[in-house]
Chain A
Amino acid sequence: QTVVTQEPSLSVSPGGTVTLTCGLTSGSVSTSEYPSWYQQTPGQAPRTLIYKTNSRSSGVPDRFSGSILGNKAALTITGAQADDDSHYYCMLYLGRGTWVFGGGTKLTVL
């Protein structure tokens, strides 16, 4: 069974840049997996940041950007702010109409 992988935790200094990645236990991630990224703070519903690899959802600041880096999808936060301290999830299309989330990355801004 293919699993979507993410770093369990990362940290970044305020104003810094950090890249979160999203991979597959078998195979590479490309635009064909239509990677999307979600931000979630405790007790809140998820918020969609990026869809279809690099399209920003409405109202999302341009310090969030999506891309493919090597064989993984990536979410880069440039100029991190304190309220970026959250959990981040990626989701990939695995074919036949099915989608799978990764295990999430806890990003700490300190």
Chain B
Amino acid sequence: QVTLRETGPALVKPTQTLTLTCTFSGFSLSSSGMCVSWVRQPPGKALEWLGRIDWDDDIYYSTSLKTRLTISKDTSGNQVVLAMTNVDPADTATYYCARATLDRPYHNMDVWGKGTTVTVSS
């Protein structure tokens, strides 16, 4: 059974760096065709795709956020980390990670975590 869980701080101050961890089980990010995506959703607003890390270490970012995002993986620990620098109240959102199966360029986000809510406020 594939599961994913997002963890991180519930409250972050403006200008700080937000670091979120996606811990997963039931699959290996070292296996061909696997990847993990990040998606967020501000309160009452639409989903926003943030980025993706692939089994072979290819990484892709949202065009609008790429200067602020870093996605990395810890294969041995079954974790993927999302770091977002210089956060702003507009980054207040629920952040989701999802397992995806990859057949470039498309990926199918077939299993989602429950999400973690982050508030950016001083």
Residues of chain A at the chain B interface (Cβ within 8 Å): 34, 36, 38, 40, 45-48, 51-52, 55, 57-58, 89, 91, 93-94, 96-104
Q: Is B63 an interface residue (CB 8 A)?
A: yes
Residues on the A chain within 8 Å of B48, using CB? 101
Select which of B96, B106, B112, B113 is within 8 A of A51 by beta carbon: B106
Select which of A46, A52, A55, A94 is within 8 A of B112 by beta carbon: A46
Interface residues of B in 55-107 (CB under 8 A from A): 58, 60-63, 96, 105-106
- Total A-B contacts with CB atoms under 8 angstroms apart: 63
Say whether A91 contacts B49, CB under 8 Å: yes
Most chain A Cβ neighbours within 10 Å, of B48, B105, B115? B105
Residues of chain B at the chain A interface (Cβ within 8 Å): 39, 46-49, 52, 58, 60-63, 96, 105-106, 108-110, 112-115
Cα of A84 to Cα of B122 in the assembled complex, Å = 39
Select which of A46, A52, A94, A104 is within 8 A of B39 by beta carbon: A46
Say whether B108 contacts A101, CB under 8 Å: no
Cα of A91 to Cα of B113 in the assembled complex, Å = 18
The main secondary structure of chain A at its interface with chain B is: strand
Most chain B Cβ neighbours within 10 Å, of A58, A97, A102, A104? A97
Cα of A58 to Cα of B2 in the assembled complex, Å = 13
Residues on the A chain within 8 Å of B49, using CB? 91, 98-101
